[in-house]
Chain A
Amino acid sequence: MSIASEPALRPARRTASGSRDRGRARSPGATIAIYGGLLVFAIWILLPVWYLVVSSLITPTQLGVKPFPLIPTSITFDNYLSVLTGSTRNQVFGSTDAGSRLLPAIGQSFFIGAVLVVLDLILAGAAAYGLSRYPFRGARSFELAIIVTRVVPAIAIIGPFFVAFRIIGVLNTPFALIISYNVFTLPLAIMILKNYFDQLPREIEEAAKIDGASRLQTLWIIVVPIARPGLVAAGVLIFLEAWSEFFYALVLTNQLTVPPLLAGFQSVQQFNWNALAAATVMSILPPVVLVLLFQRHVIGALTAGIGK
């Protein structure tokens, strides 16, 4: 099903790359320019990442050497071991317990992201389908309002959240973040899924209607399976935003998730850059791996409507 819907999604791309594949002569100068440009591009992206990875694999003594050893002579996994176990040997952490808090924070980040993915796919999936197939009076205004929400600064609404959450007693719990993150994950999911449903062919749904299926049956039995690539893409993007969010987590919790914990590490004197680098590498891996795994769906959903 999902394969059948692909050509309808990106017809222009097929023709463009098709004609490109036939090939045309390129001058040697252009070839040199392209590969030179690629070298600069690779350095631009990889140099900071390489610096991070090397920092996480060397000892504080090696780090102290000037200039920074971009190609280290020896590597160690001690930094990873210490942030995973909270071990204070090698005096990596001084007297803090910061290291032992990384794994619980990763667990909380996963939990919050997973709950939001399920919740928002149901809520946004229903809303986006309604907006796409059964536009009611005011549907268009609602869509515009959704876009405008992207401009509302988090800092402009955090005060009331803080007060309200203190009253109902959810400050410093995952629920504070599960509730508040809907402010940006829900509009994002609605926009992406609305776009996706708009591009799905309607013929099967119309056939189902003629066969006597109710609107809800059609949505559940016909549309949801066809829309799986779009749902996966929206899910990955929701998870990505939840995983990356820092500001609400800083204000509404006490370093509950990974980003505020990393920020906290920075202000601990004894906590050195080697250990922080190891923690940072681990915090980047889940979102990067997730996006690379579902690259085609995610980029497709993110860029739907661009270039039209």
Chain B
Amino acid sequence: MTSPALSNELSRADQWFGFRLTVPAAVILIVLLALPTGLTILYSLHDVPANGASLGPFVGFENFSIVLSSPVFWRSATVTLLFSIGFVTLSTAIGLAMAILLNQKFIGRGLARALLIIPWATPWLVIGILWKWFADGSVGGLNAVLIALGITSDYHDFLADPNTALPVTILAAVWRQASFAGILLLAGLQTLPDELGEAAALDGAGVWQRFLHITLPWLRPALATVAVLNVIYAFLQFDVIFAMTQGGPGDATQVLSLLIYRQLFAVTQIGLGSALAVILGLVALVGGLITVKLLYRGHVQ
């Protein structure tokens, strides 16, 4: 609606009015965001003393080269990548399935859509706490269900086992994020005119063909938004893993945000931690941009 042409037509006085309305929020954001971001970048280039009172000696990119040559970093980066792949694909796929299901006509649809909201409205940390105990090896409900279904025969401590800890943290995070994806995709589906599907059905298109050639292309912009958000949430995830495993067992679930937290507040290596934080920020930005590129490619026609 606000096309560039329109803004050219606005008088100077009108533009000045809009500018003045925006200035307070803009100033606050610059002070609270740009300033600390700049400082963190400065920190990453210095050997900052543990009390953080001064910058300390300038060391150039030494912090970055220490980080990039550290096996701990690469192990943590691998865990972050594995977590992200599982989180993004499962959240998006389950979200899409739930959206398609809840877009059908059935009794109790309003109630089902309200259910969809619950995981999204639950704080991330609480999801971590809830799933930590749900997957617990002695009082957990997950074990009870798996035994009742005959899938396992004995109690298993999923979060103490390095092989199952990461999948279970992914599952917990997906439980929340799939609902968020479902809410957004359902909104996208609701704008899809029924006539399109009906016309295709008359032409003899099956369910799968209609999904592939009508639903999916229609949802493309919504899917792009969802995927980008999922990628960002994946790289920046902290709460769920902090509550469930604190990075353990060993370093099986130590994603980058947790590693940075340790560097900054447990061993107080502020310079190294800041270099790590800059790397994580860049990775999240690049990941988001690549996702946008991939999903919008071929969409512009």
Residues of A within 8 A of B (CB): 12-13, 15-17, 19-20, 23-24, 34-35, 37-38, 41-42, 44-52, 54-55, 63-64, 66-68, 70, 123-124, 126-127, 129-137, 139-140, 142, 146, 148-163, 179-180, 182-183, 186-187, 190, 198, 215, 240, 243-247, 251, 258-259, 262-263, 266, 273, 276-277, 280, 283-284, 287-288, 290-292, 295, 299, 302-303, 306-308
Contacts and interface: CB of A to CB of B under 8 A. Distances in A.
A268 to B, nearest CB: 13
B236 A153 contact: yes
A15 B288 contact: no
Interface centre among A148, A158, A245 (most CB of B within 10 A): A158
Given A48-B175, A284-B126, A153 B33 contact: no
Contacts of B69: none
A187 B143 contact: no
A183 B119 CA distance: 24
B238 A247 contact: yes
Contact of A158 (B138, B198, B264): B264
Contact of A295 (B37, B104, B114): B114
A41 B219 contact: no
Contacts of A55: 133, 139, 141
A159 B52 contact: yes
Given A68-B139, A135-B7, A303-B184, A263 B243 contact: yes
* Top 9 A-B pairs, shortest CB-CB distance: A134-B18, A130-B21, A303-B187, A244-B123, A307-B188, A51-B141, A157-B36, A67-B144, A156-B277
A263 B129 contact: yes
B284 A151 contact: yes
Contacts of B125: 244, 246, 259, 262-263
Contacts of A49: 118, 130
A124 B17 contact: no
B183 A123 contact: no
Interface centre among A133, A161, A307 (most CB of B within 10 A): A307
Contact of A215 (B17, B39, B192, B260): B17
A153 B140 CA distance: 33
A127 B188 contact: no
Given A44-B175, A48-B175, A179-B32, 6 more contacts: A139-B7, A157-B37, A160-B39, A244-B124, A251-B265, A284-B122
B73 interface: no
Interface of B: 1-2, 4, 6-7, 10, 14-22, 24-26, 28-29, 32-33, 35-37, 39-40, 43, 52-53, 97-98, 101-102, 104-106, 108, 112, 114-126, 129-134, 136, 138-141, 143-145, 147-148, 155, 175, 179, 183-184, 187-195, 198, 218-219, 221-222, 225, 232, 235-236, 238-239, 242-243, 257, 260-261, 264-265, 270, 273-274, 277-278, 280-281, 284-285, 288
A48 B33 contact: no
B147 to A, nearest CB: 6
B21 A127 contact: yes
Contacts of A155: 236, 238, 257, 260-261, 264, 277, 280
A163 B120 CA distance: 33
B21 A38 contact: no
A35 B106 contact: yes
Nearest to B233: A150
B221 A41 contact: no
Contacts of B19: 130, 134, 136
Contact of B106 (A34, A50, A151, A291): A34
Given A287-B121, A288-B122, A48 B21 contact: no
Contact of A159 (B130, B179, B190, B264): B264
For the complex, would chain A's binding face be called helix, strand, loop or mixed by DSSP majority? Answer: helix
Given A42-B115, A48-B141, A142 B121 contact: no
A277 B133 CA distance: 9
Given A16-B192, A45-B116, A49-B118, A131 B22 contact: yes
A159 B21 contact: no
Contact of A287 (B35, B123, B143, B225): B123
A132 to B, nearest CB: 6
Contact of B14 (A17, A23, A134, A140): A134
A54 B260 CA distance: 36
A280 B280 contact: no
Interface centre among A124, A148, A277, A284 (most CB of B within 10 A): A284
Nearest to A187: B29
Contacts of B184: 302-303, 306
Given A151-B284, A151-B288, A302-B183, A139 B243 contact: no
B24 A123 contact: yes
23 contacts: A16-B190, A38-B101, A45-B115, A66-B144, A68-B141, A123-B24, A124-B25, A127-B24, A151-B285, A153-B280, A159-B270, A159-B274, A182-B32, A244-B122, A244-B124, A259-B125, A266-B243, A273-B136, A280-B130, A303-B183, A307-B187, A307-B188, A307-B190
Interface centre among A46, A129, A246 (most CB of B within 10 A): A246
Contacts of A68: 139-141, 143-144
Given A198-B1, A280-B126, A136 B280 contact: no
Given A45-B116, A306-B188, A154 B141 contact: no
Contacts of A157: 33, 36-37, 40
Contacts of B225: 306
Contacts of A180: 32
A218 B245 CA distance: 54
